[in-house]
């Protein structure tokens, strides 16, 4: 099993996300996370999908996605030459007794406290997925009331890298 | 010029060279049908009994001609009735444009009368599909649909048009149809590597499929086979591509293929897989398939490489163009020991026994071929009769064996035969069916009668669902669950009820007489042939098995 971050440039049409997601569903490819947004070109959206599977299945995932009419480009990101980021929002049970220690952890991880009530605290953290995993691990002794992660979004380092266009 | 969406639809069809269209009217397509009324001199609309029949007809038309088949249906049930036909075309990579009406844009998403989300429903079974939201987009979307259907690996495309788009007006600018040109570029080193594999092989086999037919590469294939003396085996999708008399044509491969082809692939040191996809009906056990061979795959679709079976080398492109580039690098060769081995297997191939007292499938098919002549187009349904047809029809022209290979759609035949007959004119169209398949869509007899289509339907009537029953015999200890429906259909009367002609035959001699009459008929004819229900399709390799598991009796 290997983990792969796929960057897919697609036509910015309604329904394009459904097409990609439905393809993954019917071919039995598992999605770890998926993000989508428009790019600098309003006609193009970027979908970033994290998958894990064996090499043969990953090759099929790329080829099958490339086959979609609205796929412009698909490539897998080399982790050492890419910037992977994820946003976390986490709501912790915190009152006057433990608020200080939670603040300390937040400071170490450079997480922002964006909401505070008498019995809870909401923190925001952006970073590589590993950093977010680490932060959540450190928070595990506390009671997490709610949380959500955006999933990975990613770009390559340096100037624009050449990848073959599918269409 | 300022035209309504409906007139733009008709103009684009004419522009794309569509002269025949299959369909069924309804509320959401009233405007489109009104335009078809005005364009009736340019576009022949064929109305079927059921939208499924129309979809299969468009498919049959495409298979017989290579042109894009076009089908039109209304929203809701009209659209869902196309689904099996679209999926059939998708699995066999048949170019088709399906056009559906939908409720007006203001009614979409409100569960309106006869509303379905057909683009969602057909997403997995089309190459692409569109919803036309504005009349200004209509012409280009329709053009895109035709382009996509014919580009690369061919397939069906659906265009959904809400009713208000068909009445709204837009400026229409005629354009010439974009003929998708395929330019196959393959690196010289990849071609050389492929040629080296062929030149080094001592026991080579060609295994080819529908891609050779789609690319019209039969001549190049034959040239390759002859130049390097490579015996060839085909999948059901490529029946008729190579002539039957050719000593290098070993025959059908796979589950019901012959002994020789399956042994040859098993013993080969090189398998050239050309325009084919290692389906589970051929590579029954993908880990054991061609286990002694290096595999060289040629296909237009990169996603087919390494999908089901790992290959050693591949060339991606249009089969005809790849072969044209490869041929000069292939050295003339002879493989006398290998050919002798192939011939020794051929001597042990399965041969069915003749009977003088009843109709056997192979004798019936032999008689059909003899009487129908070399120009006939054969259209099958799905089941035992389909396999017998693939095994025993001995002269087929290219594009003249139309069968649902990938999806295995019972009920495909009559609609497809209607499409084929409209495409091929005077050539005889023979629809081979079983009593199971035929009951699914025999309603299309009324269409064949309406349009005076002299399609000859030969019903292999064994009174049971023979193929399923054969599996029950072999693998379920003869527990015949729901395969013997005890139907009492009188085919002669039923044919007459539709306004067609029907015959009932219990011997090959009776059949020959009926068939000769049928060949002279101006309208559709059904010939029911009584077959023993214990007739089996042999040989057979069970699903997941290998040549070692082949059942010969």
Only one residue has tokens 């009951």, namely B439
Query: Rounded to an integer, what distance in angstroms lies between the CA atom of residue A24 and that of residue B122?
Result: 16
| A69: contact with B, CB 8 A cutoff | yes
| A22: contact with B, CB 8 A cutoff | yes
Domain ranges of chain B: 2-171, 188-346, 361-530
Are B119 and A60 within 8 A, CB to CB? no
> Is the ipTM, as predicted for this complex, more than 0.95?
no
Cβ burial of A137 (10 Å; 0-12, 13-18, 19+) is exposed
For residues B181 and B317, is the Cβ–Cβ distance under 8 A?
A: no
Q: What is the dihedral angle through the alpha carbons of B168, B170, B172, B177, rounded to the nearest 10 degrees? A: -70
For residue A111, what are its two tokens? 């997480």
**CATH fold for the domain made of B2-171:** Rossmann fold (3.40.50)
Query: Rounded to an integer, what distance in angstroms lies between the CA atom of residue B214 and that of residue B94?
Result: 8
Nearest to A63 among B120, B123, B303 (CB): B303
Catalytic position from the list B410, B467, B540, B550 = B467
Identical fold at A2-77 and A83-153?
A: yes
Binned at pLDDT 50, 70 and 90, residue A160 comes out as: confident
For residue A159, what are its two tokens? 């100037």
In a mutagenesis test of the A interface, which of B120, B141, B152, B303 is the best target, namely the one with the most A β-carbons within 10 Å?
Answer: B303
Are A66 and B303 within 8 A, CB to CB? yes
Are A66 and B148 within 8 A, CB to CB? no
- Answer whether residue A111 shows pLDDT above 80: yes
- Share above pLDDT 90 across residues of chain A, in percent, rounded to a whole number: 85
Residue B195's alpha-carbon distances to B187, B202, B326, B367, in angstroms, are 13, 13, 7, 43
pLDDT (tens digit per residue) in B42-80: 999 999 999 999 999 999 999 999 999 999 999 999 999
Query: Rounded to an integer, what distance in angstroms lies between the CA atom of residue B471 and that of residue B450?
Result: 39
pLDDT (tens digit per residue) in A44-55: 999 999 999 988
Query: Rounded to an integer, what distance in angstroms lies between the CA atom of residue B503 and that of residue B523?
Result: 14
Are B307 and A69 within 8 A, CB to CB? no
At residue B5, the pLDDT reads 98
pLDDT digits (tens), chain B, 553 positions: 999 999 999 999 999 999 999 999 999 999 999 999 999 999 999 999 999 999 999 999 999 999 999 999 999 999 999 999 999 999 999 999 999 999 999 999 999 999 999 999 999 999 999 999 999 999 999 999 999 999 999 999 999 999 999 999 999 999 998 877 888 999 999 999 999 999 999 999 999 999 999 999 999 999 999 999 999 999 999 998 998 889 999 999 999 999 999 999 999 999 999 999 999 999 999 999 999 999 999 999 999 999 999 999 999 999 999 999 999 999 999 999 999 999 999 999 999 999 999 999 999 999 999 999 999 999 999 999 999 999 999 878 899 999 999 999 999 999 999 999 999 999 999 999 999 999 999 999 999 999 999 999 999 999 999 999 999 999 999 999 999 999 999 999 999 999 999 999 999 999 999 999 999 999 999 999 999 999 999 999 999 999 999 999 8
Residue B293 neighbours by CB under 8 Å, 6+ apart: B203, B205, B265, B268, B269, B270, B271
Domain B188-346 CATH class label: alpha beta
In a mutagenesis test of the B interface, which of A10, A14, A15 is the best target, namely the one with the most B β-carbons within 10 Å?
Answer: A15
Catalytic position from the list B9, B16, B22, B51 = B51
Are A63 and B120 within 8 A, CB to CB? no
Nearest CA in chain B to A19: B123
Mean of pLDDT over chain B? 97
At residue B256, the pLDDT reads 96
At residue B181, the pLDDT reads 80
Most distant CA pair in chain A, distance: 59
Q: Is B515 a catalytic residue?
A: no
Residue A150 neighbours by CB under 8 Å, 6+ apart: A35, A86, A87, A88
Query: Rounded to an integer, what distance in angstroms lies between the CA atom of residue B261 and that of residue B258?
Result: 6
Q: Tell me the DSSP string of B258-270.
A: -HHHHHHHHH-SE
3-state per-residue secondary structure call for B374-421: CCCEEEECCCHHHHHHHHHCCCCCCCCEECCCCCCCCCHHHHHHHHHH
Q: Tell me the DSSP string of B167-235.
A: HSEEE--------PPP-----HHHHHHHHHHHHH-SSEEEEE-HHHHHTT-HHHHHHHHHHTT--EEE-
pLDDT (tens digit per residue) in B229-273: 999 999 999 998 998 889 999 999 999 999 999 999 999 999 999
Domain ranges of chain A: 2-77, 83-153
Nearest CA in chain B to A26: B124
Which residues of B are less than 8 Å from A19 in CB distance?
A: 123
- Average pLDDT of the segment spanning A144-164: 93
| A97: contact with B, CB 8 A cutoff | no
Q: What is the dihedral angle through the alpha carbons of B146, B148, B149, B155, rounded to the nearest 10 degrees? A: -160
Q: Which residues is B206 bridged to in the sheet?
A: B232, B272
| A165: contact with B, CB 8 A cutoff | no
For residue B46, what are its two tokens? 């064929």
Are B128 and A26 within 8 A, CB to CB? no
Nearest to A69 among B148, B303, B310 (CB): B148
A69 closest CA partner among A123, A107, A151, A13: A13
Are B303 and A18 within 8 A, CB to CB? no
A75 closest CA partner among A58, A56, A96: A58
At residue A161, the pLDDT reads 86
Identical fold at B188-346 and B361-530?
A: yes
- Domain A83-153 is found in CATH 3.30.2290.10: no
pLDDT (tens digit per residue) in B274-309: 999 999 999 999 999 999 999 999 999 999 999 999
Pick the CATH number of B361-530 from 3.40.50.1100, 3.20.20.150, 3.40.50.970, 3.40.50.300: 3.40.50.970
Residue B352 neighbours by CB under 8 Å, 6+ apart: B360, B361, B362, B538
Element (H, E) at A73: strand A71-77
Which residues of A are less than 8 Å from B131 in CB distance?
A: 15
Are A67 and B301 within 8 A, CB to CB? yes
Query: Rounded to an integer, what distance in angstroms lies between the CA atom of residue B393 and that of residue B244?
Result: 9
Give the pTM. 0.96
Q: Interior CA angle at A11 toward A52 and B10, to 5°?
A: 130
Domain A2-77 CATH class label: alpha beta
At residue A33, the pLDDT reads 94
């Amino acid at each position: 099993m290997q983990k792969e971050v796929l960057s897919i440039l697609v036509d910015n049409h309604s329904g394009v996300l459904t097409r990609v997601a439905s393809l993954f569903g019917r071919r039995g490819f598992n999605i770890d996370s998926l993000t989508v947004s428009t790019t600098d070109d309003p006609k193009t959206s970027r979908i970033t999908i994290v998958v894990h599977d064996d090499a043969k299945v990953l090759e099929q995932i790329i080829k099958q996605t490339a086959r979609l009419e609205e796929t412009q480009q698909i490539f897998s990101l080399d982790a050492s030459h890419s910037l992977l980021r994820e946003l976390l929002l986490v709501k912790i049970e915190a009152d006057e007794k433990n608020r200080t220690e939670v603040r300390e952890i937040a400071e170490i991880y450079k997480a922002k406290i964006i909401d505070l009530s008498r019995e809870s605290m909401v923190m925001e953290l952006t970073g590589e997925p590993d950093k977010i995993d680490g932060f959540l691990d450190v928070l595990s002794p506390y009671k997490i009331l709610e949380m959500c992660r955006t999933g990975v979004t990613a770009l390559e380092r340096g100037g624009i890298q050449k990848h073959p266009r599918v269409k | 010029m300022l035209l309504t969406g409906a007139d733009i639809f008709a103009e684009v069809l004419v522009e794309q060279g569509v002269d025949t269209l299959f369909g069924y009217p309804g509320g959401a397509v009233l405007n489109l049908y009104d335009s078809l009324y005005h364009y009736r001199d340019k576009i022949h609309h064929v109305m079927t009994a059921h939208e499924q029949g129309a979809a299969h007809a468009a498919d049959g038309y495409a298979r017989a001609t290579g042109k894009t088949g076009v089908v039109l249906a209304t929203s809701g049930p009209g659209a869902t009735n196309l689904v099996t036909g679209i999926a059939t075309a998708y699995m066999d990579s048949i170019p088709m444009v399906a056009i559906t009406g939908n409720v007006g844009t203001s009614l979409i998403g409100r569960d309106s009368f006869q509303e379905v989300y057909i683009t969602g429903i057909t997403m997995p079974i089309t190459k692409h599909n569109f919803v036309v939201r504005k009349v200004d987009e209509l012409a280009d979307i329709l053009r895109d649909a035709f382009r996509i259907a014919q580009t690369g690996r061919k397939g069906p495309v659906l265009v959904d048009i809400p009713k208000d788009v068909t009445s709204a007006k837009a400026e229409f600018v005629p354009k010439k149809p974009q003929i998708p040109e395929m330019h196959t570029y393959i690196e010289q080193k990849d071609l050389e590597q492929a040629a080296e594999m062929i030149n080094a092989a001592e026991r080579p086999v060609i295994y080819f499929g529908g891609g050779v037919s789609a690319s019209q590469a039969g001549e190049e294939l034959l040239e390759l086979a002859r130049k390097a003396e490579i015996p060839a085996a085909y999948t059901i999708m490529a029946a008729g591509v190579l002539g039957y008399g050719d000593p290098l044509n070993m025959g059908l491969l796979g589950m019901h293929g012959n002994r020789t082809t399956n042994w040859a692939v098993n013993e080969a040191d090189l398998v050239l897989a050309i325009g084919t996809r290692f389906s589970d009906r051929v590579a029954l056990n993908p880990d054991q398939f061609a286990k002694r061979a290096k595999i060289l795959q040629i296909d237009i679709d990169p996603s087919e490489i390494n999908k089901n079976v790992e290959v050693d080398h591949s060339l991606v492109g249009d089969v005809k163009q790849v072969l044209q580039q490869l041929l000069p690098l292939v050295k003339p060769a002879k493989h006398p020991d290998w050919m002798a081995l192939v011939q020794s297997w051929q001597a042990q191939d399965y041969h069915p026994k003749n009977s003088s007292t009843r109709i056997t499938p192979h004798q019936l098919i032999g008689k059909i071929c003899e009487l129908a002549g070399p120009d006939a187009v054969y259209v099958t349904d799905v089941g035992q009769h389909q396999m017998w047809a693939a095994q025993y029809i001995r002269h087929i022209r290219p594009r003249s064996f139309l069968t649902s290979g990938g999806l295995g759609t019972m009920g495909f035949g009559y609609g497809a035969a209607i499409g084929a007959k409209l495409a091929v004119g005077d050539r005889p169209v023979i629809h081979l069916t079983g009593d199971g398949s035929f009951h699914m869509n025999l309603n299309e007899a009324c269409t064949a009668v309406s349009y005076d289509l002299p399609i000859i339907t030969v019903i292999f009537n064994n009174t049971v669902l023979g193929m399923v029953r054969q599996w029950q015999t072999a693998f379920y200890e003869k527990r015949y669950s729901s395969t013997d429906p005890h139907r009492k259909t009188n085919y002669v009367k039923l044919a007459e009820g539709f306004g067609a002609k029907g015959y009932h035959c219990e011997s090959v001699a009776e059949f020959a007489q009926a068939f000769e009459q049928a060949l002279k008929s101006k309208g559709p004819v059904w010939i029911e042939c009584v077959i023993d229900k214990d007739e089996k399709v042999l040989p057979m390799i069970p699903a997941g098995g290998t040549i070692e598991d082949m059942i010969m009796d």
